[in-house]
Structure formats: C-alpha cells, structure tokens
Amino acid sequence: MRNFAKHILNSLLIIMLIVLANPLYGSTESLPEDPMLPQPNAALQPGDVVQIVINALASNDYPFPDAGIETTFNFASPSNKTQTGPLKNFTKILKGPTFKQMINHRDSTLSEVILEENRALRLVQIISADNETLYFAFRLRLQQQGRYAGMWLTDSVWPLDGPNDDILDLVVDKSALYQDNVINSGPKLVWSI
C-alpha cells in the first residue's frame, strides 16, 4: 500500500510541475509586439517609421533572431496585418523571394517623405548583403481610430524596378499615396493591400 501511495504522490507532483511550468514554457514564439523592440507612438513621423523599419531589417537578428522582422510587423497597420496574417506568416513573406534582400542589407538610402493629408510615401534604395541594388516604396497612413489612433503605420511595401521615370512620376503625381498598384514591377506582392 505504501508503494501505491508513493506512486500516486509522485504522479501528482509531476502533473503539478507540468501545469505550473506550462505558462513559462508553453510558447516558444515571442509576442508580436515585444516590449524591448521599437513600438509605434504618436511622436513618430512617417519618415521616422520607415527609418526604424529599415534599420531593424539591416540588423535583423539583433537583439534576438528575426527581431528586425518583428519590429517591421510592429509598425504594420491593422489593415496590413489583416492581409499578411500573424507574425509567423509575415516572417515567411519577408523571407520570400520579393523581400529577402531587405534582411541584413548592407546599406540604404531613403528619399524625402511625400506627404499628403493622412498618407505618406517614402522610397528606399537597398544595397543587399550580396551587393545587389534594389528599390522599394513604403506607403504609410496616419491611423484614425483604435489603439493606434494618431500613429503612422505602414500600409504596404512593394518592390520597384529602379530609379526610372515611373518613380519620378510618383514623386510629382503623388498617386501612389492612393493607389494600390502604381508601378507594375513584376508580380504584385506587397505586405498589404
């Protein structure tokens, strides 16, 4: 009888340890908005947001693996996140063929911000880790409601063919602030709408 009671107590102890340890070790995925990473706030202007994202992607694995992607996700608008899904899906998109050169890139040059009302556009030139020159457009929107009201967040990012007349037209026309597919630079793949 004594062995039986000892076995029961040992089993209960193991079950209690599993139950108590589960909240500590139950999830290996970090929260989508890790407090140690840059977060959106109303003091940041659209140019600041793009600079934060570009800097984070340049040092993607600092302070932990894929921290740059997670920072980028933190600055994605709610409509962007609706299109891309959770952080896990967002990570797959950024590591895919269209955007992977942005991760751990060597250098970047950012245009002036094109601003009109509650929308903004900023063009970015990236020198990838393998010395390829790439161009991207970031479209941002000043959020009007919800927990991000008053904050600039990224609605979409798309690749550009390069510094050509289409880009100059964007700067002059400002139509990219309102259109989802201004430049057809191959397959349409954006982080959002």
pLDDT at position 173 is 53
What values do phi and psi take at 25, rounded to 5?
-125, 10
Are 69 and 103 spatial neighbours (Cβ–Cβ below 8 Å)?
yes
The number of residues in the chain equals 193
Predicted pLDDT of residue 35: 74
Question: pLDDT of 109-151, one tens digit each?
Answer: 999 999 999 999 999 999 999 999 999 999 999 999 999 999 9
**What are 95's two structure tokens?**
């590591």
- Between 130 and 35, name the one with better pLDDT: 130
Angle between helices 67-74 and 46-58 (to 10 degrees): 160
C-alpha torsion sign, points 168, 173, 48, 181 = negative
pLDDT at residue 162, rounded to an integer: 76
- The closest alpha carbon to 120, from 191, 50, 27, 32, belongs to 50
Contacts 24+ apart (CB under 8 A), 66-69: 66/91, 67/34, 67/37, 68/103, 68/104, 69/94, 69/95, 69/103
User: Kind and range of the H or E element at 75?
Assistant: none
Domains of the chain: 46-177 (3.10.450.100)
What's the average model confidence in pLDDT over 3-31?
41
Question: Over 80: is that where the pLDDT of 11 sits?
Answer: no
Q: How far apart are CA 11 and CA 13, in angstroms?
A: 5
Task: Convert the pLDDT of each residue in 156-188 to its tens digit.
Answer: 999 998 776 455 555 545 555 555 544 333 333
Residue 50: name the closest of 130, 143, 155, 134 by CA. 155
* Band of residue 189 on the pLDDT scale cut at 50, 70, 90: very low
Q: Which pLDDT score, from 0 to 100, does residue 161 have?
A: 86
pLDDT of residue 21: 39
Collapsing DSSP states into helix, strand and coil, what is residue 24? helix
